[in-house]
C-alpha cells in the first residue's frame, strides 16, 4: 500500500457504467518517510469516503479493482484514510 494526499476530484461527463456512483479523486503520491511528493498526481477511485486534503493509502493494479464488489475497470483505488503513522524512531529501526 502506498501513501498519498487527496488534492482534488475528477468529474466525467461520460464514463464506464461500472464507475457510476463512484467518486474519483486526484491524489498526490507521497513518501512514507517525510511525506514529500513521490511522482505525478494520479486518479484513484475512492472506496472509503476520503475528503479533501486527507492522507490516504491506496493500491494499484488488480488490487484496485478488487476493492469494489463489482470490480470496475480501475488502475488505482483509495482503500484507507491515514490518521497517523510513524517511521523514524520506531523501536527496532536500525537507523
pLDDT tens figures, 30-46? 999 899 999 999 999 99
pLDDT at 17: 92
pLDDT tens digits for range 13-31 = 999 999 999 999 999 999 9
DSSP result, 11-39? --SS--GGGTT--EEEEEEE-TTT--B-S
| Spans of all domains in the chain | 2-81
Residue 18 CA from chain centroid, whole number: 19
Give mean pLDDT, residues 64-78: 90
CATH 3.40.190.10, domain 2-81, yes or no: no
Rounded to a whole number of angstroms, the distance between the first and last alpha carbons of the chain is: 22
Amino acid at each position: 500500500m502506498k501513501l498519498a494526499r487527496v488534492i482534488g476530484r475528477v468529474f466525467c461527463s461520460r464514463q464506464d457504467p461500472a464507475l457510476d456512483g463512484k467518486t474519483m479523486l486526484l491524489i498526490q503520491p507521497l513518501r512514507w518517510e517525510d511525506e514529500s511528493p513521490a511522482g505525478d498526481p494520479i486518479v484513484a477511485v475512492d472506496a472509503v469516503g476520503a475528503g479533501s486534503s486527507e492522507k490516504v493509502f491506496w493500491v494499484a493494479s488488480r488490487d484496485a479493482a478488487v476493492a469494489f464488489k463489482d470490480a470496475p475497470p480501475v488502475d488505482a483505488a483509495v482503500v484507507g484514510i491515514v490518521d497517523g503513522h510513524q517511521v523514524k524512531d520506531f523501536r527496532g529501526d536500525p537507523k
